[in-house]
Amino acid sequence: MTNQRLIMYQRPAIRFEIPLDDIKGVVVEGIHYVLRKRDCLAISYNSSEGSRGGKIWFIVNDLEEWMKRLTAHSAFLKVDLKAIENISAQLDSDSQDILWYLYERRYAKIDQLAELVDAPSHMHVLLKIRETINPIAEKLIGCPVLIFERSKVDPETGEAVLFSWWLAGQPDEAARNEEKLLDIFDEGTHIQVIIEVRGIKSSDVRLEVSGNELTVRLENADSAWKEMIHLPVEVDADNYQMHLKNNLLDIRLNKVK
């Protein structure tokens, strides 16, 4: 399997091949093989224009590994906001930042992720992905959530992106595009930020301020969530007020004099 196609080769020729984007389902089914019944991969797919879709069965040695690889790459896998929140809730701070960054931007190079978390080396980021983020994702959604690609085309821009980490599957655009109340007001001596939040307490909220960047984190036993907000001016990281009422979080930050 490449990053774009699933190919079955049996000498002397390729017997079957299909773009990963055309796969619409992968399940494990039992079929009769010779004198006994065996589990195999049943792959349903969209055929070329003018013909009906099809289904093909593969008998493979490492069934679980193939399921992980196919579900991580195939177009039918949807990584929604709830899945990201559930994974994030079990991560440390650096791992959360990496996951949310890729959820928001879809892909990034290793040096961008290292800069994001102020990592001492690229190895620090790799260990977070391979030993923390992906193992937890495999337990919760059945496959790694972050995938390394040597070359992949960005479907939004058509640009070929080289040697980058990607969020697995397809983005949940409905959740991503859902309108959220977020207003920023310049009140002269201070900046006021109003953001809609639901089902939380003020003790669940953590604020981080760096220059004119505000990060709002939600951390409790049930979920984790983060909003990164670009402010129009630099604000005082040590001087702010925060109030929560009627599902509206009101944050007031003093401008740097």
Query: What is the per-residue DSSP string for 123-148?
Result: HHHHHIIIIIIHHHHHHHHSS-SEEE
Q: φ, ψ for residue 211 (rounded to 5)?
A: 65, -115
Report whether 67 contacts 58 (CB < 8 A): no
Distance CA 238, CA 257 (A): 13
Ranges in the chain annotated CATH 1.10.10.10:
78-175
Which tokens in the block code for residue 181? 């109340």
Per-residue pLDDT of 182-224, as tens digits, reads 888 888 889 999 888 776 778 888 888 888 889 888 776 555 6
Helix or strand holding residue 68 (H, E) = helix 63-73
Confidence class of residue 13 from pLDDT cuts 50, 70 and 90? Answer: confident
Fold entry, domain 179-255: Immunoglobulin-like (2.60.40)
| CATH class (in words) of the domain with range 78-175 | mainly alpha
Report whether 70 contacts 78 (CB < 8 A): no
pTM, two decimal places: 0.53
Report whether 152 contacts 166 (CB < 8 A): yes
Per-residue pLDDT of 132-143, as tens digits, reads 999 998 888 877
